[in-house]
Amino acid sequence: MTTEKNVLLGVLGGLGPMSTIYFCELLNRHTKAACDADHIDMIISSRATTPDRTAYILGRSTADPLPVMIEEANRLERAGAELIVIPCNTAHYFYDGLSKECRVPILNIIRETVDHLKALGVSRFGLLATDGTVYSGAYERLCSPEGLTCITPTMEEQATVSSIIYDSIKQNKPVDMSAFLTICEHLQERGCERLVLGCTELSLLKKDLPKSPLFTDSLEVLAYRTILACKKPPVGFSADFLGGN
């Protein structure tokens, strides 16, 4: 297969580690390739010891993740990365500060997801994410100018979502899918056309979710946009995912 010059991708990961692995799996699964050399060249950083993003955003910790993220982005840049991606929604709270210290472009998972929803014709969506992403208004800031309405769970429901992320998925423990799907139903009752898996830990639940166009996985969106940005042909994305793109 003849391709353009390869773009060397830098993956700023470890936020969390399993999401990083799954993201790289998505890239390989959905890049059209006849041989190894047709895949995306990438350098992967998995700095699992990066301070918790939500804890810092909500003032529960004084350990600032940004200096560590800058250090890893600079490491990727020195290694030759020409594009950087961060498979973590909450980390994008620090996007502006990180971009100022990095000379290569960084795809923004939240911007890409909002643009994807707009292309699908969605006007009202529910957000399932960490407390840091929800309470910082990260999605609202980008979707409001585009005419999209972001609906978040009630405080009680958000506590359940947070527990699923931190007490179940991050600890490799079983998830209470009944509780999760009940929250999803409540968001639908509030008029949400789509539900965004706005935490890449929740992306790991996708294999256990009902096959439905209801869910838009931010990690899948990032994988799709990354493949295109690396000038590779994407394959294997469902018709529901692609929609009007």
Catalogue the active-site residues.
88, 199
Q: How many CB atoms lie within 10 A of CB 112?
A: 20
Give which of 90, 122, 106, 56 is closest to 198, Cα–Cα. Answer: 90
DSSP assignments along 100-153, one per residue = HT-SS-B--HHHHHHHHHHHTT--EEEEE--HHHHHHTHHHHHHGGGT-EEE--
Give which of 42, 11, 29 is closest to 107, Cα–Cα. Answer: 11
Contact 196, 221 (CB under 8 A): no
244 CB burial (10 A radius; 0-12, 13-18, 19+): exposed
Token digits of residue 79:
């290694």
Q: Which secondary structure element, helix H or strand E, spans residue 216, and what is its range? A: strand 215-217
d(CA 109, CA 217): 10
List Cα–Cα distances, 153 to 24, 180, 194, 195, in angstroms.
29, 11, 14, 11
